[in-house]
Amino acid sequence: MKKLVLTLFTLCCIGISFSQIKTPQPSPSSTLKQTVGLTEITVNYSRPGAKDRTIFGELVPYNKIWRTGANKATAITFKSDVIFGETKVKKGTYSLFTVPGESEWVVMLNKETELWGAGNYNKENEVAAFKVDTKKTSDFTESFTIDFNTFTAFGAMMNLTWENTQVSVPVMTYGKEKLAEQFKKELVDGPDAGLFYNGARFYLDNDLDINLALEWITVATEKRPEAFWMLYQQARILDKAGSKKEAIQAAQKVISIASEKEDDYGYIARAEKLIKELKSK
């Protein structure tokens, strides 16, 4: 009896040990990270091999939805909005499906990212669907491959290649528009009022160049004339710069503007106190 129990225990241990052993995947997973323009694109997919099989038209039938790889459906993540093919696509993660044909493929992006096959594909979750021409390659590609090439400043081609077939999808990012806006902001509009205000407050509170603080707070209040809290600091800076009359005028303006607001956050009382102190000098 003891011998039987020992044998069963040994077999159980062997079973547990084998269950913890990892074996190579027939279609190994791959993660591709590529920056296009200023946008990072990540593709997670599995790479089946041809293994002396005819791929398109047999292993992967024509005119049927394909997961575009093996195992879990291929997923593609855009860190910012892009134009995929000719479709505007919001940043996020999507599953990539295709319908291979002899001369052209349909390429699709879908919001559902947890599919392991095409059986439950729901067109209602589709965010892009368009046709691209196929190209025959002279070199044979053993393992299904996704890569990017033909880069421009803000775009690239995403290639799907297997066997002697390749399809290429144009991907365009919005980096150009973002950079143009940033240059306009910096070179035409200049820094915003908040930056000038913070700089002026720092110089005032730390006894630095008061004339420079006055220059900056003046720019800030010109950019934000309704900002009564900025006007209050302008009154303080004017006082420290020796401009008593102008300081009183700025404080009075604080009261005038803040009194029309739903909440003055205590600045009316501060301004009144400052005016009283200035007039007593």
For the stretch 153-198, pLDDT in tens is 899 999 999 999 999 999 999 888 887 787 777 777 778 899 899 9
DSSP 137-157: EEEEEEEEEEEEES--SSEEE
Does the domain formed by 191-279 have CATH 1.25.40.10? Answer: yes
Higher pLDDT, 48 or 190: 48
Query: Chain-centre distance of CA 63, in angstroms?
Result: 34
The rounded mean pLDDT for the chain is 89
Domain ranges across the chain: 25-176, 191-279
- Res 8 pLDDT > 50: no
pTM for the structure as a whole:
0.64
Q: Are 67 and 74 contacting, i.e. CB atoms less than 8 angstroms apart?
A: yes
